[in-house]
Amino acid sequence: MKGTMKALRSYAPFDYRYEDVPIPTARSGEILLRVKGCGICAGDIKSFHGGIRIWGTDESNRYIDAPVIGGHEFYGEVVELGEGVQDFKIGDMVVTEQIVPCDECEFCRAGKYWMCVGSAVYGFKEHAQGGFAEYVLLNSHSRTHKLPDGFSPEQSVMVEPIACGMHAVELAQIAHSDVVVIAGLGAIGSAIVNMAKLDLPKLIIGIDIKQHRLDLGEKFGADVVLNATECDVVQEIKKLTNGMGCDVYIEASGSPKSVTQGLEALKNHGRFVQMGVFAEEVKADWNVIGDGKELHIIGSHLSALTYPAVIEGIRTGMIKTDGLISHSFAMKDWDKAFDEAEKNPDAMKIMLVP
C-alpha cells in the first residue's frame, strides 16, 4: 500500500507532532493493520512529560527511539499480509501484544517472551512503531490475536490493559480465604477487581481518591471501597480483618504513597504485587518486608500469556468493559485527549480514533 498517513510522533518531551509519514509495507512475516482505535496509557502521558524511565538521563540510557510513532493499546483490521503469513486473512480484526520479543534471548527461548531482554514495546522503538496512526505494521515477532465478531471498539482497545491486569491477578495467587486489596481503581485497577472477584476471595477492598472510580470499583465487584483522602486506609483495613491486615495487596495506582500503605496494611506472610508504574523512585522501610512481616514482594510486568483468556472473558461477559473508556477523541485532537487524560478527574481510559 503506497502513500502517506497521519501519525503522532514523539520527538522529545513535550514535542509530539501529528504529521504525514509513509504508510509502511508488509514484508516477510509482517502484517499491516488499519488502526481502528488506540488507548492512551498512563505511560504515554509520563513519556510526554519526559519520564525518566522512557527518556533516561541522556542518550546512553534512553529507552525510546525518537522520533517514533507512539501507542501500544491498539487494535485494527488486517489490510496487507507479508509473505509467509498463514494464520490471518485480509479483513480480520486483531490485537497484538504490546511487546515485540527477540525470540532469541534466554527468556524468549524459555517461553517467557514478555521478559525479553530486548524489551521492545510498540510505540517506543524504531522497529516497533505504534498505533497512534492510521496504519501500524506488526513486526514478524509479534504475538497477534484475532478478535471475535461483534467486539466493540471499547472491548477491543481494553484487551491490552486488562491483559496486564490479569497477569497481576495470576501472580497474586488469590485463595478463597484471602482478603484482597486493590489500590488504584483506574481502568486497569477496576478490571483487576473484576478478575479478582472471579477467584471468590473472602473480601475485596478497593482504594482510590476519586469518587467515580470508587463507584466503578464497587460495580466491578469490590465489597468495600475506601477513599484514601477521607480515612486512614491502613486502620480501616485492620478493622475489617480483626487487626490482622490483608493477605494480598495489588498496587495499581503508581503512587509512591501506596507502597508504604500496602506494606503497613499487609498481614505477616502477605503478598504485595507491584503492577503500577511510578514516575519517580520510591522509598520504603524494607525492614517491614524482612525483619518485620516476612512479606512476598512480586513484580508484575506486561501481560504474559493472558491475551486468549482475556478475549474469551470479554466475549462471555465474565470480564466487564462498560465504563472503562470514558472519552474518545479523533487522533488529530491528540493534544486535547492527552490534556483530558491528565487533568479531568472523571477520566478513565481515553481512546484515540484515526
Question: CA quadruple 238, 239, 241, 246: dihedral positive or negative?
Answer: negative
Would you say the CATH fold of 165-299 matches that of 4-158+324-353?
no
Chain centroid to CA 207: 18
- Digit-coded pLDDT (tens) for 159-182: 999 999 999 999 999 999 999 999
| CA proximity to 203, closest of 249, 165, 163, 234 | 249
pLDDT, tens only, 141-154: 999 999 999 999 99
For residue 119, what pLDDT is reported?
Answer: 87
Given CATH 3.40.50.720, say whether it is the number of domain 165-299.
Answer: yes
pLDDT of residue 59: 86
pLDDT for 279: 79
| pLDDT given for residue 241 in this prediction | 98
pLDDT computed for residue 3 by the predictor: 95
Pick the CATH number of 4-158+324-353 from 3.40.50.970, 3.40.190.10, 3.10.20.600, 3.90.180.10: 3.90.180.10
DSSP-derived secondary structure for 210-221:
-HHHHHHHHHTT
The residues near 249 (Cβ < 8 Å, ≥ 6 apart) are: 181, 183, 262, 265, 266, 270, 271, 272, 273
User: pLDDT averaged over consecutive 10-residue blocks of the chain (354 residues)?
Assistant: 94 97 97 98 92 89 95 98 96 98 97 95 97 98 97 97 98 98 97 98 97 96 97 98 98 95 98 92 92 96 97 98 96 97 93 97
78-87: b or e for each residue (b if 16 or more CB lie within 10 Å)? bbbbbeebee
> So where are the chain's domains?
4-158+324-353, 165-299
pLDDT at 2: 86
Helix H or strand E segment including 178: none
In this structure, which long-range contacts are made by residues 241-246, counting pairs with CB atoms below 8 Å and at least 24 apart in sequence?
241/179, 241/203, 241/267, 245/270, 246/178, 246/179, 246/180, 246/181, 246/205, 246/270
pLDDT for the residue 278: 87
Report pLDDT for 315: 98
Q: What is the pTM of this model?
A: 0.95
